[in-house]
Each structure stands twice: as structure tokens, then as C-alpha cells.
Amino acid sequence: MDPFADTLQRLREAFDSGCTRPAEFRAAQLKGLSRFLQENKQLLQEALAQDLHKSAFESEVSEISISQNEINSALRNLRAWMKDEKVPRNLATQLDSAFIRKEPFGLVLVIAPWNYPLNLSLEPLVGALAAGNCVVLKPSEVSKSTEKVLAEVLPRYLDQSCFAVVLGGPQETGQLLEHKFDYIFFTGSPRVGKIVMAAAAKHLTPVTLELGGKNPCYVDDNCDPQTVANRVAFFRYFNSGQTCVAPDYILCSPEMQARLLPALQSAITRFYGKDPQSSPDLGRIISEKNFQRLRGLLSCGHVAIGGQTDESDRYIAPTVLVGVQETEPVMQEEIFGPILPIMNVRSLDEAIEFIRRREKPLALYAFSNSSQVVKRVLAQTSSGGFCGNDGFMHMTVASLPFGGVGASGMGSYHGKFSFDTFSHHRACLLRRPGLEKVYALRYPPHTPRNLRVLLAAMETRSCSCALL
């Protein structure tokens, strides 16, 4: 029993009919997405609150507004992005028309995660629709309330011959992945990323994988601890730490650690009050399973700040761990929770070496008053993205591509990069039938005389130009 075959067939037929090609159709879809957000704001905020205890502020800033901005940008730029891109010609093609035509791939699958269940479903969707594809969205079954809104409400705002939401857990997703798609966009863990890519390989389907990693946060001795603590704490405990680009651990000297700890405590208290559990601004852990996993990590090193938990509420206090060993679990897996371990290094060199020994992360942070230090960390490491002296602000800049490298992913999106990711860039050269004499030199028989003539011509031009 294949629950997906009919839906996929229907979407494929719609794509083949050509209905998604005109800009008007695509713009109408994007406007539909926009209306979905505007008309269901409260419903969405409630769903996000139910799933992750997201505050209205976090929902607005990191889910709704950010999606709305992507939609607006796509609407504004759609026609410009769709235009054929003329390219410089070489000597042999001066009289031809050379351009890159952006074409939709066809049937696109977007698999979304649970931590930003709205934004990480809609942002890729915007790109895929703008590029003229038909889209199947598989939202995360873990963020149940948002899944429900996406499944029941979202399709009403889009042309359902070209868009479908499919539901299910790992087993159903595996079944879905047996089908052929023309592009797969996956956000989630590296472990599942491998499964997705292997499934895509069977159909030679290109993929973008937005994965995770342990994002290092280097804090130099030369900086103001309170400023750093504010910024690190804000980005670490946002969404209760369940962010793929959150600073995962700090690297600093023991001296800096001593200055950071009180500063972190001060920031946490200012942000969430003396009893963070009662703050409306602190999220909750998505599931019982993750709660247990995170609670287990609290026994690594020792707790310098926080450490309180409440299973009935899936609450974990904003926590800082110190005295952690590299071999302990908290330094072996992506934390994805409100726990911040501090690892000591004795120098910038040691910090860089520590980072380079490990998998390339999705994000990397360096804090220092010295721009030389910041630039050095950048130059001697690799990561999906980088921010000097702040947390994941780099992903709010739409003109920067957002994506990983190595184990943290492949491909990128946001803004125009989304449109380009979901498009095939077709090289086109339009030539005229005339000027046949010019091309005659390329035809056999290739006499030694011809060769001499050509070599001589090249010599005068001092270039090895192809004569096609």
C-alpha cells in the first residue's frame, strides 16, 4: 500500500502541464503563503507555544517575521531572478547569444525539522515555489501542533494541484524517499542526512542538506565579559538551545572563564528572572526523549550555573557546565539544549587546533576586541557560516548564503540563493546559420597546413583560442 503514489503522480502531471512556469502563478502562490501567515498568526503562535513553549516574541522574530521577509523578498525579486542571465562571451562566440536559463527541477521534496517548524518549512518552500517547482512538504511529526496547522490550514492557501503536505514518522518518510523526486531539501541531523542522500542517490536526485554540528564559540581574553555573556547567553538559550546555529560550547582561558561565569549568571537572571521556569521567554524541550538525553548531559563536568530540571514540564534551566572533558558525552554530540559547556584552552593556537580536529560545524563564533584575532580564527578554520562578536546574526542577512560544509551539510539557501538552489541553471548558446566560412577551419580534413595556419594565428594573438 503506497500512500504517496497518487499525490506524487498528481503533482507530476501538474508540473508537466506547465502551470507553474508563468511568474503570475508563482507570485500567486507566494501571496497565498503571505496570507496564510497573516490570517493565522494567533493559531501559529499557539501551536508554537504548545510545541516548544515559544514566547510570542520568539515566534514573531524567529518564525513568522523571518518567513514573511523571505516571501516579500521573493515577490519583489521574482521577475528579476527568473530572467535569463546573460554571460560574457569569448572570442569565438562574440556573435552568439549566450545566457543561463533558470528552470524549475520539477517535483521537489522539502523535509522540515521540529525546532523552527514554521520557518524551516516555509523558507525552503518559498524558494521552491518561486523557482516554479511543484512541492511536497513533509513537516516534522515531532512538533505536532505546528504539523497540524501546516497539514490542515496551509494547503488551503496554495494551489493544491501543485502542492501537498504529507505526514508521517521515520517509517513513512523512508517510504516516501523510495519515490523519485527532482530535488530533495532536508533539514535535520547528519545521521538522517546520510539516509536521505543515499535514498536520493538511487534516483540521481540532487540534494541540499542543512545539518548540524557543535558550533564552537571562542572567547578571547581581550574582551568585555558582560557584553560577550549577553550575546552568547541570548543566542544559546533562545528556543531553549534548540537551534542548529546556536553556540554549542565555549573555548576560553581559565582566567576568562572566571570572568565569564558571573557575567553569564547576570545575563541569565536579567533575561529570565530568578526563577527561569516561570519566565514566558524561555522555551521547553520538544520531547520526553530529548529531555532525558539532555538531563543525562548534566552529569558531565559540573554545573556552575543552573542545572535544575522539571520532567513534568520538560523544563531545563539555562545551564553552564565547567570542568568538562573532551571525551564526555556533552562534548561528543550536538547539545541542542540550554546547556553551555566551557572548555579551557591556554591560547588562541590551542583553540584553533581544538576546532580543526573536529568536524566542520554549521556556525563558528569568535569574540575579541582585536579584529586580528577574529580574522585569524576565521582564516584558520572552516564552518558553514561565521560571526565575529555576536551569535547567529549572519543568518538574518538574506544576501548571505545559509548552509553547512562537511558534516554540517551541503548546499545553501535564503534569498536569491533559495531561488538558485531550486533551479537548474541551463547553459544556452544561440548561434546563427551564417558565417559558415569562419567555422570552416574546424572541419576535417585537418591538413598539416591548416594546423600551421592555426598555430601561427594563435601566436600572433598570443592566446590559445579555440576556434569553434
Partner 1 sequence: MDTISEVVQRARAAFNAGKTRPLQCRVQQLEGLRRLIREREKDLVGALAADLRKNEWTAYYEEIVYVLEEIDYVIKKLPEWAADEPVEKTPQTQQDEPYIHSEPLGVVLIIGTWNYPFSLTIQPMVGAIAAGNAVVLKPSELSENTASLLATILPQYLDKDLYPVISGGVPETTEVLKERFDHILYIGSPGVGRIVMMAAAKHLTPVTLGLGGKNPCYVDKDCDLDVACRRIAWGKFMNSGQGCVAPDYILCDPSIQNQVVEKLTKSLKEFYGEDAKKSRDYGRIINSLHFQRVMGLMEGQKVAYGGTGDATSRYIAPTILVDVDPQSPVMQEEVLGPIMPIVCVRGLEEAIQFISQREKPLALYVFSLNDKVIKKMIAETSSGGVTANDVIVHTTVPSLPYGGVGGSGMGSYHGKKSFETFSHRRSCLVRPLLNEEALRARYPPSPAKMPRH
Footprint on residues 173-202 left by partner 1 (CB under 8 A):
182, 190, 193-194, 197-198, 200-202
Catalytic residue chosen out of the listed positions 123, 210, 217, 252: 210
Footprint on residues 40-99 left by partner 1 (CB under 8 A):
45-46, 49, 53, 55-58, 60-61, 87-90, 92-93, 96, 98
Q: How many residues bind partner 1 (CB under 8 A)?
A: 116
Strands 385-388 and 363-367: parallel
Q: Which is nearer to partner 1, 55 or 215 (CB)?
A: 55
Distance separating alpha carbons of residues 77 and 83, to the nearest angstrom: 10
Q: How many CA atoms lie within 13 A of 30 on its CB side?
A: 31
Q: Could you tell me which stretch among 113-121, 136-144, 154-162, 422-430 binds partner 1 (CB under 8 A)?
A: 422-430
Q: Please indicate whether residue 252 is annotated as part of the active site.
A: no
Handedness of CA 432, 436, 441, 442 (dihedral sign): positive
Choosing from 108, 154, 320, 410, the residue that interacts with partner 1 (CB under 8 A) is 410
Q: Count Cβ neighbours within 10 Å for each residue of 388-416 and write b for 16 or more, e otherwise.
A: bbebbebbeebeebbbbbbbbbbbbbbbb
The minimum distance between CB 425 and partner 1, in angstroms, equals 6
The minimum distance between CB 92 and partner 1, in angstroms, equals 7
Answer for the pair 128, 185: CB distance below 8 angstroms, yes or no: yes
Q: Is 457 in the site for partner 1 (CB under 8 A)?
A: no
DSSP letter, residue 22: S
The minimum distance between CB 214 and partner 1, in angstroms, equals 15
Q: What DSSP line would sit under 334-362, residue for residue?
A: ---SSEEEEEE-SSHHHHHHHHHHSPPPS
The minimum distance between CB 440 and partner 1, in angstroms, equals 9
φ and ψ at 77, to 5 degrees?
A: -105, -5
Helix (H, G, I), strand (E, B) or coil at 259: helix
Q: Please indicate whether residue 428 is annotated as part of the active site.
A: no
Distant-in-sequence contacts of 91-99, Cβ < 8 A, 24+ apart: 91/463, 91/465, 92/465, 92/466, 92/467, 92/468, 93/429, 93/431, 95/431, 95/432, 95/435, 96/429, 96/430, 96/431, 96/432, 97/428, 97/429, 97/430, 98/428, 98/429, 98/430, 99/428
Torsion angle of C-alpha atoms 219, 224, 225, 231, degrees rounded to 10: -80
Q: Is 206 in the site for partner 1 (CB under 8 A)?
A: yes
Q: Is 394 in the site for partner 1 (CB under 8 A)?
A: yes
Footprint on residues 301-340 left by partner 1 (CB under 8 A):
none
The minimum distance between CB 332 and partner 1, in angstroms, equals 18
Q: Which is nearer to partner 1, 5 or 87 (CB)?
A: 87
Helix (H, G, I), strand (E, B) or coil at 294: helix
The minimum distance between CB 402 and partner 1, in angstroms, equals 7
Q: Could you tell me which stretch among 111-119, 289-297, 331-339, 382-390 binds partner 1 (CB under 8 A)?
A: 382-390
Answer for the pair 252, 345: CB distance below 8 angstroms, yes or no: yes
Q: Could you tell me which stretch among 110-118, 252-260, 320-328, 402-410 binds partner 1 (CB under 8 A)?
A: 402-410
- Each residue 100-129 as x (binds partner 1 by CB under 8 A) or -, in order, gives xx-x-xx-----------------------
Please list, in sequence order, all residues whose beta carbon lies within 8 angstroms of the beta carbon of residue 16, skipping any fewer than 6 positions away.
none
Q: Could you tell me which stretch among 22-30, 121-129, 257-265, 389-397 binds partner 1 (CB under 8 A)?
A: 389-397
Q: Is 409 in the site for partner 1 (CB under 8 A)?
A: yes
- Each residue 247-276 as x (binds partner 1 by CB under 8 A) or -, in order, gives --------------------x--xxxx---
Q: Which of 212, 213, 227, 214 is nearest to 367 (CA)?
A: 227
The minimum distance between CB 413 and partner 1, in angstroms, equals 11
φ and ψ at 413, to 5 degrees?
A: -155, -165
Choosing from 27, 323, 406, 420, the residue that interacts with partner 1 (CB under 8 A) is 406
φ and ψ at 335, to 5 degrees?
A: -70, -50
- Each residue 125-164 as x (binds partner 1 by CB under 8 A) or -, in order, gives ----------------------------------------
Q: Is 19 in the site for partner 1 (CB under 8 A)?
A: no
Distance separating alpha carbons of residues 397 and 19, to the nearest angstrom: 32
The minimum distance between CB 32 and partner 1, in angstroms, equals 25
Choosing from 428, 438, 456, 457, the residue that interacts with partner 1 (CB under 8 A) is 428
Q: Which residue numbers are catalytic?
A: 210, 244
